[in-house]
Amino acid sequence: MHQSSIFHLETAIKDFDKYIIMYISSNIPKVRRNLKIHLEDECYNLVRYLYEAIYTKGNIRAKNITEMLVICSLIDHFLEQLKEDKNINKKKLENSIFKLTEIKNMTRGWKESHEQKEKKC
């Protein structure tokens, strides 16, 4: 994956993190506090593993990219649970799911690119 693509992924993840905090997490009712905490933690972990993947190489980078995909799936699960909640704006929730899908696709592309690069060596 080229540096510009990694920068685009980094920007998308940071934008997604801000969007979740502003529009989704802030509207989760106190009754579902546990879900709110886990959602925010996983968004933080997504940023964390992105930076770990950027600054590592080889098998460790592959592991961090895989962790990013796992975290995306967890966040997707949490967002699906929120679809039933009346306090969450459906349009904002759909937009966040769309942003997450873009991040997941870019991360998959990075993983495939990394795997092809490793096969050549």
Q: What is the pTM of this model?
A: 0.94
- pLDDT at position 15 is 98
Please identify which residue in the block is written with the tokens 């995909």.
69
Is the distance from CB of 103 to CB of 72 less than 8 angstroms?
yes
User: What's the average pLDDT block by block, 10 residues per block, for the chain (121 residues)?
Assistant: 87 98 96 96 98 96 98 98 92 98 97 88 66
Residue 40 · residue 18 · CB < 8 Å: no
CA angle 62, 10, 46 (to 5 degrees): 60
Closest CA to 49 of 37, 35, 67: 67
pLDDT value of position 118: 83
Asked if 38 and 78 count as a contact pair (C-beta separation under 8 A), the reply is yes
Residue-level pLDDT at 121: 66
Report the candidate in 4, 6, 16 with the shortest Cα–Cα distance to residue 61: 6
